[in-house]
Amino acid sequence: MRDIRIATAQFENRDNDNAYNLSRVETLTRIAVEQDAEIVSFHEGCIPGYTWIQPLSKEELLEIAEPVPDGDSVSELMRISKQYGIVVMAGLVERDAEDNVYNTYVAVSGDEFVARHRKLHPFVNPHLSPGQGYTVFDLLGCRMGMLICYDNNLVENPRITAMMGAEIIFMPHVTCCLPSAMPGRGIVPKEFWDNRHRDPVSLQQEFLGPKGRGWLMRWLPARAYENGIYAVFSNPVGWDYDTVKPGLAMVLDPYGEVIAESHALEDDVVVGLCTPEKIANSSGQRYLKARRPDLYGAMVEPQESVTLPGWKMEHETDDRDAETE
């Protein structure tokens, strides 16, 4: 690894509006370049929008899905990347030749298609297929990995990505401020977002508390610390289909410390300087070498895999209650 400046962005995407969302990608990419970043990372599903696809049928999903790397959105990302001289990473909905549909994250560098990660644990729509492998690649003198949102909640996924040599893991999300049974968690009322210019403090308190940053700090620094890697977190800000998202784009170092973070109540970009000595000195890299695989047989015993986030459990409970009333 070498010294590298990495940008992570947040913006309020519009549902099913690729042209607008790509225009925001371009604007924020330009701002990242002005801050001397060599890579800029955007959130999960940022090109078409993400949360709004929940009720779509398979046929409707296929209408918004694109081939990768041959689709229009990847071509536009390549144009942006080439024009501004920076690696661009962004999320979209992909379809393959067999009409399987994936939540996909891509990296492009000018005319070069660098990498694609298909989300391992999709759940927002039952017609999304899971990815079947990890994504690690060499770029700009660094070894990088990708994991999308829920992929990062299972400790095994960042661990294996780090074991494959990743020094920097990009973690695009659409998360926080969702229904939850946990104390202090839950949604942020839309009027807080609509009134953010008149009363920014109330919204900041929501975003920085247990609904947003407080929840992230329970586990996100641990993923960086326990594996000795840089974690690049991106997330939308503002109204997203049916909930408010808090942004909080940030870069964390291998010690689990936040080295760059946005608290902006608007579209924003932050840049973190990632340096190799922290990886070499990190506890996580020592822990990787101390592993005892001979003890871990239970971890690979077959089981039925069920990806179910807390907010979806609450919704399903509400549905069951309604059926019995």
The pLDDT mean for the chain works out to: 95
Please, what's the b/e burial string for 23-47 (b: 16 or more CB within 10 A of its CB; e: otherwise)?
Answer: ebbbebbebbbeeebbbbbbbbbbb
Quick one: pLDDT at residue 319?
43
Q: What is the H or E stretch that residue 22 is in?
A: helix 18-34
Q: Which of 85, 62, 46, 310 is closest to 174 using CA atoms?
A: 46
Is residue 230 within 8 Å of residue 273, measured between CB atoms? no
| Residue segments in the chain with a per-residue pLDDT below the cut of 70 | 313-325
Q: What angle do CA 56, 11, 24 make, to 5 degrees?
A: 90
Compute the distance between CA of residue 107 and CA of residue 88 in angstroms, rounded to an integer.
6
Q: Residue 70 carries which side chain, given as an amino acid letter?
A: D
Quick one: pLDDT at residue 33?
98
| Burial of 291: CB neighbours in 10 Å, binned 0-12, 13-18, 19+ | exposed
| Structure tokens given for 99 | 């009409």
Is residue 188 within 8 Å of residue 205, measured between CB atoms? no
Q: What is the H or E stretch that residue 286 is in?
A: helix 283-289
Per-domain residue ranges for the chain?
4-324
Torsion sign, CA atoms 204, 170, 51, 30: positive
Quick one: pLDDT at residue 239?
98
Quick one: pLDDT at residue 131?
98
Question: In this predicted model, what pLDDT tens digit does every residue of 153-188 receive, in sequence order?
Answer: 999 999 999 999 999 999 999 999 999 999 999 999
| Structure tokens given for 319 | 């549905």
Question: In this predicted model, what pLDDT tens digit does every residue of 308-322 receive, in sequence order?
Answer: 888 776 555 444 333
Question: In this predicted model, what pLDDT tens digit does every residue of 9-49 receive, in sequence order?
Answer: 999 999 999 999 999 999 999 999 999 999 999 999 999 99
Q: Which residue has the tokens 């996580």?
A: 284
What is the fold of 4-324? Nitrilase/N-carbamoyl-D-aminoacid amidohydrolase (3.60.110)
Is residue 231 within 8 Å of residue 225, measured between CB atoms? no
Quick one: pLDDT at residue 311?
75
Quick one: pLDDT at residue 320?
35
DSSP E strands, the chain:
4-10, 39-41, 87-95, 101-109, 112-118, 135-139, 142-146, 168-172, 230-234, 237-240, 243-246, 250-252, 258-261, 268-274
